[in-house]
Amino acid sequence: MTGTAAMTAPATPDRDTRAGLRRDARRERAFFLSLSLPALLLVGLCAMLPIFWILRQSVMTLRGEFTLANWEKLLSSALTWKSVWTTVELSGATLVLCMALGIPLALALASAPPKIANRLLILVMLPLWTSILVRTYGWLVLLRRDGLVNQALTGTGIASEPLALVYNFTGTLIGMVHFMLPLFVLPVYAAMRDIDGNAIRAAASMGASLPRTLATVVLPLSAGGIRSGAMIVFIYTLGFFITPAVLGGGQVSPVAIRIEKVMSTFQDWGQASALGVLLLILVAMAAAMLAAARRLIGRKGKTHA
């Protein structure tokens, strides 16, 4: 469309052509914008509105008057800060484990022949097709006191008595890493697969050892994928509820669990809303920090080059 418009525009005054082009470009932008309108509307209605409603509710009494009492109660309670800390701890530990397990896995996938890599990828994806509830209860069966893992450990004499693998932080972490690992591996694998093989060959031909090649070529070139993977893992896990609820046994209470508790035992919607907003702030802060880290690394990358 743009093409024809530009062609039929009078050839001479050059300025008119440019104005026409600009006009067309504007129209095109408006057209594309209108295409995204339904999605924007949906996000506005289903995501933004409820958030505003929660925000409003966090500063309201039951009778609908303005109050800061919910926030005062929340911010002055040691339980809140403990749950914020538990949330960050859980997400951070999940991220570290996902990186430690996921980067080598992605590397192996990326360096395998395409046919094998595809099959392995299906194995990585498989857990994503199972409901989180099923997977979480699956871990319960495996990790409990007379579960398979403990039976194997005590049967082979590695442990003299059953280990406390579930209904605590450890069990929650295992469940969360299991859930998030595929979501971390996929972007990292995509980034590693796109690395130009010549760059690796060049490094090798210049005598770089494998660890050195990894550190100076592969990892920097896949940093984008690792970053998006890390972003997904950290932010996604900040709001995790089912895994700590089932595998934490009441010993692990991140913000999401606190929200449920405040709602179910105190029927205190105002304070639960305030907690929800606090969680949102936490997510926003994490996103901002990751974005800042990205800019910082990006700048460092440029001075290198």
Partner 1 sequence: MNLSRCLPSAALAMALASPLAAQTLTITTSGGDYGAALRDALWAPAAAELGFEMREDSQSDSLAALRMQVMSGAVSTDVIQMGSLEAAQAATMDLLEPLDPEIVDIDGLPEGARNDYCHPFDSYGTVMAWNTETFGDAPPRSWADFWDTETFPGRRALRANAQDLLEIALLSEGVAPDEVYDVLESGDGLARAIARLEELKPDVAVWWSSGAQSTQLLKDGEADLVVTWNGRAANAAADGGAAGYTFAGSVIGTDCLAVPAGAPHPEEAMKLIAAMTTAEREARLTDHILYGPVNPAAYETGLIPEDRLELLATAPANAGSSVYSDPAWWVAHGQEAQIAFDEMMNR
Which one of the spans 10-18, 76-84, 198-206, 219-227 is the region binding partner 1 (CB under 8 A)? 76-84
Q: Largest Cα–Cα distance of the chain, in whole Å? A: 91
Q: Which residue has the tokens 């700048």?
A: 299
**Is 148 a residue that touches partner 1 (CB under 8 A)?**
no
Residue 251 in contact with partner 1, rule: CB under 8 A: yes
Residue 205 touches partner 1, criterion: CB under 8 A: no
Q: Which of 37, 34, 26, 189 is nearest to 121 (CA)?
A: 189
- For residue 264, the minimal CB distance to partner 1 (Å) is 9
Please, which residue, 228 or 243, has the CB nearer to partner 1? Answer: 243
Which span (74-82, 96-104, 174-182, 193-201) binds partner 1, by CB under 8 A? 74-82
Site membership for partner 1, residue 282 (CB under 8 A): no
Stretch that binds partner 1, among 48-56, 208-216, 250-258, 296-304 (CB under 8 A): 250-258
Q: Using the minimum distance from each CB to partner 1, give the nearer residue, 164 or 286.
A: 164
Position among 70, 222, 228, 253 found at the interface with partner 1 (CB under 8 A)? 253
132 sits near partner 1 (criterion: CB under 8 A): no
Q: Which of 57, 105, 144, 255 is the binder for partner 1 (CB under 8 A)?
A: 144
Q: What is the helix (H) or strand (E) element at residue 187, kind and residue range?
A: helix 169-193
Q: Min. distance of Cβ 140 from partner 1 in angstroms?
A: 8
The token pair at 222 is 């896949």
The total of other beta-carbon atoms located within 10 Å of residue 247's CB is: 27
Long-range pairs for 96-103 at CB < 8 Å and ≥24 separation?
A: 97/173, 97/177, 98/177, 98/180, 98/181, 98/184, 98/229, 98/230, 98/233, 99/184, 99/226, 99/230, 101/177, 101/181, 102/181, 102/184, 102/185, 102/188, 102/229, 103/188, 103/219, 103/226
**170 touches partner 1 by CB under 8 A:** no
Task: Reduce the DSSP state of residue 60 to 3 states and report it.
Answer: strand
CA dihedral defined by 186, 284, 265, 244, rounded to 10 degrees?
A: 30
Nearer to partner 1, 222 or 273 (CB): 273
Residues that bind partner 1 (CB under 8 A): 78-79, 82, 144-146, 164, 167, 245, 249-251, 253, 261, 265-267
